[in-house]
């Protein structure tokens, strides 16, 4: 298994440009999510999906769009890039386990995309 893959590894954009960060997983995971990590900070959730055709907003969704047409892919679209979106973007996927009424998961993270917006 390749696990969670992200492309590109690095990207430089000019303010106002749009682009799509790609994320794919080959583990048949239901859940996928996008996080951003600013320098010296923890990760913050942007958007997530609990299955194909279902997405929801996380902590910092403004300026980003997502869609989930297949189980494997979860692209993140920057509509009009701004310098404040300079960050490292991580994609993650997981199963959802249910036991005795409790749910938990183990998230697998991709290697990240380092985005700079000038």
Please give the residue ranges that form the binding site for other proteins (CB under 8 A): 4, 31, 33, 35, 41-45, 48, 50, 58-59, 88, 90, 92, 94, 96, 101-112
Report the residue number, 10 or 14, with the smaller CB distance to other proteins: 10
Report the residue number, 9 or 14, with the smaller CB distance to other proteins: 9
Minimal distance, residue 80 CB to other proteins, in Å: 26
**Other CB atoms closer than 10 Å to residue 108's CB: what's the count?**
17
Give the HSE-up count for residue 112: Cα atoms under 13 Å, Cβ half-sphere.
Answer: 12
Report the residue number, 44 or 77, with the smaller CB distance to other proteins: 44
Report the residue number, 65 or 105, with the smaller CB distance to other proteins: 105
Contact 55, 15 (CB under 8 A): no
Residues 6+ apart with CB under 8 A from 90: 6, 34, 35, 36, 37, 43, 109, 110, 112
Minimal distance, residue 88 CB to other proteins, in Å: 7
């Amino acid at each position: 298994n390749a696990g969670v893959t992200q492309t590109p590894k690095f990207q430089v954009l000019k303010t106002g440009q749009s682009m799509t960060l790609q994320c794919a997983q080959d583990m048949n995971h239901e859940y996928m999510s996008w996080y951003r990590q600013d320098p010296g900070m923890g990760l913050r959730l942007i958007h997530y999906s609990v299955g194909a055709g279902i997405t929801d907003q996380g902590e910092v969704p403004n300026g980003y769009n997502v869609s989930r047409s297949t189980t494997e892919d979860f692209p993140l679209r920057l509509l009009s890039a701004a310098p404040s979106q300079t960050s490292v973007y991580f994609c993650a996927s997981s199963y959802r386990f249910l036991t005795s009424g409790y749910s938990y998961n183990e998230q697998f993270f991709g290697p990240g995309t380092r985005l700079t917006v000038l």
